[in-house]
Every structure is written in structure tokens, then in C-alpha cells.
Structure 1
Amino acid sequence: MRFTWADSTLTDDQSFTILKAVLTAEVNVWNGADFYGTPENNSLHLMQRYFSIYPDDAEKVVLTIKSGNRDINPVTLDASPSFLRQQVATANRILAGIKKIDLFGPGRIDKNVPVEKTVKALAEMVAEGQIGGIQLSEVNPETIRLASAVAKIDMVETEIDMWAMQIFQNGVADICAELDIVMAGHTPLSAGMLTRKVKGIEELAVPAYYRQLPKFQPENLRKNYELITALETLTTAKGKPGMPVIIPVSGASSVERAVENSKDVELTEEGLEEVDAILSSFTGK
């Protein structure tokens, strides 16, 4: 939910129309962060404004909020109990009782704070009614198991796209299934790569740290677009040009795209095997 990024040109009316459309389409897990924007205008402020106009929607939405960043540029993490408590208090003050935070947790693991200590603090806030549950983001299987030994982890957010399929090999998907943890995928279109929206690093409409990823480097772009061309050939052969035949997209910045992305996608075993064959033959980054 990047409606409040500094480079966003969406007005509240435009954002609210999109949010209303996806909720009507039964997409009710809304993922934001207190660092998606500024301390004065981030996901929490947008939610407060939205639910002030549509109070009946509050109970229909599962609001998940990431935190634990003191700064974005450069990224400065802080998952200490004191900082997270401060951020939860600020978040609840912004929401002003209009909407409860259903899930809350650090956007990345702070290497300076044991995850057990972070989760213990979050569990205390759950017990106090400050938040509804605990989420983690970008974690490995070992971290998930350590965290789960302290308290119930409700959701794990992780990148899932054609260049990031590691969770299906590194044990993350397996342990989430074992421990009954919901997995939420972010950046399914790889920040615009999969839609050919991005032709180069200078066109990335995302924070600067995305520009450091290998897949967006000039030497890799040509090879990566070969993968996209192969996938487009497959979807065209299926009679559905574009990526929706392969993946239901979890984010959008227009009503039309939001409604399209909210539709269920049926992928047969044969279709999945065809996609896997393309991916296994691909040597890009």
C-alpha cells in the first residue's frame, strides 16, 4: 500500500476509490507501514482519513502495519521493545480509535535485537489489546522458529516474484505451513519489471534501495526481459495476453488495475509446469 510514498501523485479521493473497489472485490488485507511516507503522512494517516469517511469498513479490513525503521535513507532499523512500543502508541494515536491494528511487526529483522526479545514485546502488546497480532517480514526459517517459540506469529511477509522464488526452496514456505502462519507476498511484479513498466533503473518508481537490486542493473536487464518475453508468449498462447494469467497481483494504483488484479486466477497443473519450465531454463538475475 504505497499510496503515501513521497513520489505518489494520488489524491485521497483517488486512493479511497481504489481502496473501496478492492474491498468490494473482497480484498480485505491491507498492508501498510509507518515508514511508507513521512511521520506526518504515512499509511496510518491515510487509514485514519479513509475510515473516518467509511467507518463501517473498519471491521471488514485486516490492517497490517510494519514498523521498526528509524530512518529509510539510509535504512536504520530498531526493533527494540521500547521503540516498537513508542511506534504502536503513535499508530494508535493517529488512528484515534477508528480502526484497530490487526497485525503489527518489524519490517526487517534488527540484527542488534534478538528476535525473541522483539516478539516478547509484541506479544505483551497483543495481551494489552494494543495490537491484534504479530507479523514478521523477510525472515528465514530459523528466525520464524525462534519467534514462534515465544508467541504465535500470525503472518510472514516475503517477496515472491519470478526472481524471488527462494521461499519454496529455503524452508520458509514449509515452516509457515507447519506452524499455521499466513504467508503474504509483496512486490509480485518485481517493482514494475514483470509488466515492462521499468526499462531501466532511472524509471523505478520505488525507494532508492530497490535500485541496488541485481535484476535492475543494466547488464542484467536484457537477460531479464528475455524471461518476460517468454512468459508473455505463454500467456498470449493461452488467449490472455499479459501477466494476470500467471499471477494475481496484490497491489495497484488505479481502479481498473485494482479490480483486474483482484480477480481469482486459475492455473492448471499443466500451466504451472509450463511456467516452471521457463523459469528453470532462465539464467538471469
Structure 2
Amino acid sequence: MAQVNGKEVGRIGFGLMGMTWRNPAPPVEQSFKAMKASLAMGANFWNAGEFYGPPEFNSLHLLNQYFTKYPEDADKVLISVKGGLKLENLHPDGSREGVRRSIDQSLKVLDGKKFLDIFECARVDPDVPIEETIGYIAEYVKAGKVGGISLSECNANTIRRAAKVHPIACVEVEFSLYATEILENGIAEACGELNIPIVAYSPLGRGFLTGAIKKFEDLPEGDFRRHMPRFQPDVFGENLKLTQEVEHIAQQKGVTPAQVSLAWVLAHSRKNGLAEIIPIPGATTEARVLENNKQVTLSEQEVIILGEILKRIEIKGGRYPPAHDHLLNG
């Protein structure tokens, strides 16, 4: 078990984005089964977003419906909600007005069915000092309306500055075999120093490591990954080589590539001065939730082998389109 904001959570969390952002979204009852399975497996850290889906039905609406049907689960789950964006263009808004609008709207949609355990701005607003943004969220913590504050896609200096204003419950960043930057840019080191858990989003390489996509055409029409550099046809085959190496290791262990990938992320938790690391794979079916939560451990030798593979295979293309680069590691 891990500790986030004073509450025990499972070693693996659960990302709700795909349940309301996909078009078409999966049936609500299917999502409920996946959510129930997640809780049954101990994955009680749930990651949601005010912008995960259309205004009329985002992941907060799904949470409202779930906890309306299963009110007994509300105290068993810790939810972390991303907001702090202008919904019309998804640009960061860390101003007092932006933070208040986002939190107030989140609370309105939850409608008291579930406490807002953690709130985080999805990106750091380059026009507002992080100290001010954290201060605005802290007002809601002091008022008892929000349980804690998280950060997302921030740099090491931002983490340290924010932590001087208010305790930081966790830091959400991309971390997977396809995105190892936090081990090199000081983010993991800063979180280790301050004992802040890292929430690793997209731990399965945005689908590369699930084994479900083998070529660009496997991405559904309208899928946002069709616009991401590393999924483009001219580099897709090169980037798939990493997945193929992971598949080989998975076959030798008798497990799935996704399970090897999650085990690799977890192998860094509380190691070499790092803090707790909690991967939050997304899933829309009960079967995928059960697969992700099956406990698989890598030997030290297997971790070394994967490290050697990462040195040998260069991932082509950035994590996001170039237009988003200025909002990463803010």
C-alpha cells in the first residue's frame, strides 16, 4: 500500500479518462463494472478530470452517477481531479478566478456524492506564479472543501516552490518505458527529497505497451494519438521496436506486456532516493482492470535488461505535438 495525503491507496491507481473522453464513450454500466473491479483489486486511487469528456458528461458526472448508485464506496476511494484550464481552449488558467471556477464547478457536479480529495491544475499557468495558484487552491483546503493539492506536468523548481506554500499531496507526470524523462530532469529527485508520491500517467506508453496497436491505422478515427509525433506513420514502426522487446520478456515470464510495463514503473518506487510511484493505467473494461492489477514483479536482472533496451532503442518524436511543448514541465 502507498500513502497519498494521509490515506492508504493501492500500489496501482486507476485513470478514468477513457471512460468519458472516447467517442463513442463506453456504456456507463461497462464503466461501472470496471470501476467496481478496480476497487475490489485495491486500486482505490482514481484520477479524473473536469475536461475528460464533453461539458455535459465528463468523468465527474460519471463519478456522481457511480457514487449515487454505490454510496458505500465513497469513503473507500480517493479521487484526484484535474482542472485549472479554460474549457473553451484548454489553456492553463491558474488565476484566482480560474481556480475558483474550476473547483466550484467540480464540486457542483460531484453534488456532495463524493468529497473532492485532491485538486490539481492540469498544467502550470506560465502567466501566474505557482505560489499564487497554490494559495488559491489552499483556500479551499482550509475551508474543508478540498482535501489536498497536487501538481501536474511541472518541473523540479516548481515542485519546490509550491511545497513552500502548501504541502503537496502528489505530483502527476507521464512515466513509462516510453517516457523516462522524470528520471533525468530532476522531477523524480525533487519528489524524493520532499517525500511526495509520483502519480505516473500513461504508464503503458499511451497504448503502445498494451499490445492493442501494431500500426498507425489501428488508432481509431478521431483518436488524439493520431496527432502525436511518436504515433506518426513515418516513426511508428521504429517506436514499436520497444514494445516488441517488452513482448519478448513478457512471453518468457508468461505474463502480458502491460504487466511487465507496470512492474517496471513500480520497480522504481522507493528506490534510489525516489518517492512512492503510483501508476494509473486507464481501462474501460473489467478484463483490462484485472490484467493491470495482477501482481507481477521484475527481478533485478530483468530491470537491468530493460534499462539496456532503453539505451539501445531511441524513441522517435515528442510526447505531445510541438505546440504543447511550452506547457510541459512548467
Taking structure 1 as the reference length, what is the TM-score of the superposition?
0.93
What is the aligned partner in structure 2 of residue 166 from structure 1? 181
Q: CA deviation at 1:199?
A: 4.0
Structure 1 segment 1-285 matched on structure 2, within 5 A: 1-2=16-17, 3-71=19-87, 74-201=89-216, 203-204=218-219, 210-248=225-263, 250-285=281-316
- Paired amino acid for 2:308: A
Q: Cα 1:153–1:205, aligned 2, differ >3 Å: closer, same or farther?
A: farther
Q: Cα 1:156–1:13, aligned 2, differ >3 Å: closer, same or farther?
A: same
Query: RMSD over aligned Cα, in angstroms?
Result: 1.9
Does structure 1 conserve the Cα–Cα contact (< 8 Å) formed by 2:85 and 2:102?
A: no
Specify which structure has the bigger relative contact order, considering alpha-carbon pairs within 8 angstroms and separated by 6 or more residues: 2
- Paired amino acid for 1:156: V
Is there any run of 5+ residues in structure 2 with no aligned partner, and where?
1-15, 264-279, 317-330
Percent sequence identity over aligned pairs: 37
Is there any run of 5+ residues in structure 1 with no aligned partner, and where?
none
Provide the C-alpha distance between the structure 2 equivalents of 1:171 and 1:47, rounded to a whole number of angstroms.
Answer: 34
Q: Cα 1:282–1:114, aligned 2, differ >3 Å: closer, same or farther?
A: same
Does structure 2 conserve the Cα–Cα contact (< 8 Å) formed by 1:250 and 1:262?
A: no
Does structure 1 conserve the Cα–Cα contact (< 8 Å) formed by 2:204 and 2:281?
A: no
How many pairs are equivalent? 284
- Paired amino acid for 2:55: P
After TM superposition, the structure 1 stretch with the greater mean CA deviation from structure 2, 265-274 or 1-10, is: 1-10
What is the aligned partner in structure 1 of residue 266 from structure 2? none
What is the aligned partner in structure 1 of residue 270 from structure 2? none
SS at the partner of 1:87?
helix
Does structure 2 conserve the Cα–Cα contact (< 8 Å) formed by 1:141 and 1:172?
A: yes
Q: Cα 1:132–1:8, aligned 2, differ >3 Å: closer, same or farther?
A: farther
Q: CA deviation at 1:162?
A: 1.7
Q: Cα 1:166–1:278, aligned 2, differ >3 Å: closer, same or farther?
A: same
- Paired amino acid for 2:66: Y
- Paired amino acid for 1:153: I
